Amino acid sequence: MKPTLIILAAGMGSRYGSLKQVDALGPNGETIIDYSVFDAMRAGFGKVVFVIRKDIEKDFMDVFGKRFTGKIPFEIAFQELDMLPKGFKCPAERTKPWGTAHAVWVARNVVKEPFAAINADDFYGADSFRVLADALSKPNLAKGSYFMVGYKLGNTLSEQGSVSRGVCTTDKNAMLQTVIEHTQIERINGRVCFRNEQGTDVEINENLPVSMNFWGFTPDFFNHIENMMSGFFSGAITNAKAEFYIPTAVNNLIVDKKAACEVLPTKAEWFGVTYPGDKQMVMNRLKELVSESKYPSPLW
């Protein structure tokens, strides 16, 4: 059975300032989503599920509907604020999405096979899709056998401002031990630092592996998320900014010994559009990859 790719595309990107999922960045107007789907297809993924909001459905399908029809099976799953576990009701003042773990959970009814989950606005590189597709395609993959593609922290920063990253520790067998979400990470006077809860900049090893939200899961992950969300919403339903992240869910499952997660090394280069100033860098890099014959142009 071929694995499925879930693309998390419901966020507007508040720092970027537009619907960057449909932004033309490639030499012939391709989006980052186009490159992700292209890489997934040649790596061996069998289906794509796009997680979007209902209010962007028309814009999204105007761009992608015709591009992917007949090329790879795809489905849409909606992430809305009122999609909560039984017993919970969304506060009227809530405007922020509930986070990446919630975004994966809303796809539970259309995914029954091992799957990967990625951000819509990150370029992960062909090798990353290959190593994860190979891992998810192993026969008789046991429940709780998870994977994460790891990138070096120092190679994932933006020159335009700070970023958030899930910083990882692994054992000698490359099994994930912890993944801790750090915010406001940036290079300051040559040192990579994050901002702690006291507002102090703390230096961090830039060679540590980080999660760029490129995960691989067996389908039991959906049930684990639902169980954990009940606890999350019990304590955070009234917090207007609270979000439930994939790294938090994975970390909890590892601590409780309900899952094991292998960190997969990749030769691929990551880049993404976090700030408007990142856009030209991404366009230049995509153009270079085309000139190196890594991708056809036009892509489709």
Domain-embedded: residue 47:
yes
Domain-embedded: residue 297:
no
Give the helix/strand (H/E) hosting 4.
Answer: strand 4-8
**The predicted structure's pLDDT at residue 21:** 66
Domain-embedded: residue 131:
yes
**The predicted structure's pLDDT at residue 13:** 47
Domain-embedded: residue 296:
no
* CATH classification of the domain holding 207: 3.90.550.10
Give Rg (Cα) of the chain: 18
- Domain containing 48: what range? 4-291
**Half-sphere exposure in the Cβ direction for 74 (13 Å, CA):** 25
**The predicted structure's pLDDT at residue 71:** 93
- Taking only the tens of pLDDT, the chain with its 300 residues reads 899 999 999 874 444 445 666 788 999 999 999 999 999 999 999 999 999 999 888 888 888 998 999 999 999 999 998 998 888 888 888 888 889 999 999 999 999 999 999 999 899 999 999 999 999 999 989 999 999 999 999 989 988 899 988 899 999 999 999 888 888 999 999 999 999 989 999 999 999 999 899 999 999 999 999 999 988 888 888 887 888 999 889 999 999 999 999 999 888 889 988 788 889 999 999 999 999 999 999 999
Give pLDDT tens digits for 214-268.
999 999 999 999 999 988 888 888 887 888 999 889 999 999 999 999 999 888 8
48 by DSSP, 3-state: which? strand
Number of folded domains that form the chain: 1
Domain-embedded: residue 205:
yes
**The predicted structure's pLDDT at residue 16:** 46
Give pLDDT tens digits for 115-140.
999 999 899 999 999 999 999 999 98
- pTM score, whole prediction: 0.90
Domain-embedded: residue 300:
no
Domain-embedded: residue 215:
yes
Dihedral pair phi/psi, residue 119, rounded to 5° = -80, 150
- Report the amino acid identity of residue 236: A
| Structure tokens belonging to residue 119 | 């951000």
Of the candidates 138, 141, 151, 118, the one whose C-alpha atom is nearest the C-alpha of residue 50 is 118
Separation between Cα atoms, residue 108 and residue 220, nearest integer Å:
10
